[in-house]
Amino acid sequence: MISLTTLEYLVRTYGYLAVLLGTFVEGETILIVGGFIAHLGLLKLPYVIITAFIGSFLGDQFFFILGRTKGAAVLSRFKKARKQAEKIHGFLERHQNLIMTGFRFIYGIRILTPIVLGMNHNISARRFFLFNAAGALVWSVVVSLGGFLFGEALHLIMKDISRYELKIIVGLMAIGIMTWLLNRLTSKMS
């Protein structure tokens, strides 16, 4: 996993190209960083949004076509992806339009969903194209603005978390141990 500092360096160094390539795949974090860098005045927010839209849209179109042409082969290679694909298929039966528009807002299924959508021959390429464009536009604006408006606060929080990281980890471990002990005690009493 790439650290926030590394992503910030990439966006500061490569600017819109880093945003474009980062949003072609998952992209949430790099887009938040892009919004934050725009907040600092090193990039222009409208260009960050446009670049993110292009990267997100093209990435999802690519994965849709991959799903249409080689989806079964891709899923056969990844056991975890097959299980997630089954869940996505279940949601598709009830909420096709919502899934096509909003999948990029759900962490961890951004690449897999357009592959699964491409495998579904009830969804035309044209229909996906339109819903993908709408979803990519909304996502690009919302996430870029989030980084722009709240990037400074996120940056400060991340610096503070790294300063108190050991204390946070020890505290979370203590809470985990106490919860485990409490569960054991209550299960023995039952």
Q: Where along the chain do its domains lie?
A: 4-163
The yes-or-no verdict on residue 105 having pLDDT over 70 is: yes
Over residues 42-52, mean pLDDT: 95
**What is the number of alpha carbons within 13 Å of residue 48 lying toward its C-beta?**
31
Angle (nearest 5°) at CA 77 between 75 and 78: 70
Query: 48 CB contacts (<8 Å, ≥6 apart)?
Result: 16, 19, 31, 34, 35, 37, 38, 144, 148
Q: Distance between CA 86 and CA 74 in Å, rounded?
A: 14
**% of the chain with per-residue pLDDT over 90:** 35
Tell which wins on pLDDT, 77 or 134: 134
The yes-or-no verdict on residue 161 having pLDDT over 80 is: no
pLDDT of residue 190: 59
The yes-or-no verdict on residue 49 having pLDDT over 90 is: yes
- Residue 36 contacts residue 9 (beta carbons within 8 Å): no
Mean pLDDT of the chain: 84
The yes-or-no verdict on residue 77 having pLDDT over 80 is: yes
Over residues 55-75, mean pLDDT: 93
pLDDT of residue 159: 67
pLDDT of residue 125: 94
Report the helix count and the strand count for the chain, using DSSP H and E: 8, 0
- Residue 121 contacts residue 96 (beta carbons within 8 Å): no
The yes-or-no verdict on residue 165 having pLDDT over 70 is: no
Residue of 111, 109, 146 lying closest to 30 (CA atoms): 146
The yes-or-no verdict on residue 121 having pLDDT over 80 is: yes
pLDDT of residue 59: 95
The yes-or-no verdict on residue 10 having pLDDT over 70 is: yes
